[in-house]
Structure 1
Amino acid sequence: MNTLRPAFRSSLARTALAAALAATLLGACAPVLIGGAAVGGAMMASDRRTSGAQVDDQSIELKAGRRISEAIGDRGHINVTSFNRQVLLSGEVPSEADKSAVEQAVARIENVRNVVNELAVMPNSSLGTRSNDALITSKLKATYVDSRDLFANAYKVVTERGVVYLMGRVTEREATRGANLARNVSGVQKVVTLFEIISEDELAQVRVITAPPPAASGPK
Structure 2
Amino acid sequence: MQKFSIHRVLPLVLAASTLGTALVGCAPVVLGGVALGGIVAADRRTTGTQVEDEGIELHAVNLLHGQYGDRIHVNITSYNRQVLLTGEVPTAADRQRVQELIRSLENVRSVVNEVAAMPSTTLAQRSNDTFITGKVRASLVDAKDLTANAFKVVTERGVVYLLGRVTQREAQRAAALASGVTGVVKVVRMFEYLSEDELSRMSITRPDTTGSGNSSPR
Query: How does the TM-score come out when normalised to structure 2?
Result: 0.80
1:51-98 residue CA offsets vs partner (Å, 9 max, x unmatched): 111000000000001111233332211100000000000000001111
Give the aligned partner of residue 17 of structure 1. Answer: none
Unaligned runs of 5+ in 1: 3-25, 212-220
CA distance in 1, matches of 2:186, 2:49: 28
CA distance in 2, matches of 1:135, 1:123: 21
Contact 2:33–2:152 under 8 Å retained in 1 = no
Give the aligned partner of residue 46 of structure 2. Answer: 50
Give the aligned partner of residue 200 of structure 1. Answer: 196
1:51-90 mapped onto 2 (5 Å cutoff): 51-90=47-86
Give the counterpart letter for 2:5 in structure 1.
A
Contact 1:79–1:90 under 8 Å retained in 2 = yes
Give the counterpart letter for 2:135 in structure 1.
K
Give the counterpart letter for 2:166 in structure 1.
V
Say which of 124, 134, 140 aligns to 1:138. Answer: 134
Contact 1:136–1:188 under 8 Å retained in 2 = yes
Relative to structure 1, is the Cα distance of residues 32 and 78 closer, same or farther in structure 2, using a 3 angstrom cutoff? farther
Give the counterpart letter for 2:121 in structure 1.
S
Say which of 30, 34, 38 aligns to 2:5. Answer: 30
Give the counterpart letter for 1:196 in structure 2.
E
Relative to structure 1, is the Cα distance of residues 32 and 80 closer, same or farther in structure 2, using a 3 angstrom cutoff? farther
Look at both structures and tell me which one has the larger radius of gyration over its CA atoms: 1
CA distance in 2, matches of 1:185, 1:115: 27
1:96-142 residue CA offsets vs partner (Å, 9 max, x unmatched): 11111111111011110010000011000011111110110000101
Unaligned runs of 5+ in 2: 10-30, 208-218
CA distance in 2, matches of 1:103, 1:73: 16
1:1-16 mapped onto 2 (5 Å cutoff): none
Q: Does 1:118 align with 2:93?
A: no
Relative to structure 1, is the Cα distance of residues 32 and 150 closer, same or farther in structure 2, using a 3 angstrom cutoff? farther
Contact 1:140–1:182 under 8 Å retained in 2 = yes
Give the aligned partner of residue 170 of structure 1. Answer: 166
CA distance in 1, matches of 2:103, 2:163: 18
Contact 1:166–1:193 under 8 Å retained in 2 = yes
SS of 1:153's partner is helix
Give the counterpart letter for 1:110 in structure 2.
E
Relative to structure 1, is the Cα distance of residues 87 and 50 closer, same or farther in structure 2, using a 3 angstrom cutoff? same
| Root mean square deviation of aligned Cα | 2.1
The structure richer in strand per residue is 2
SS of 1:119's partner is strand
Contact 1:168–1:195 under 8 Å retained in 2 = yes
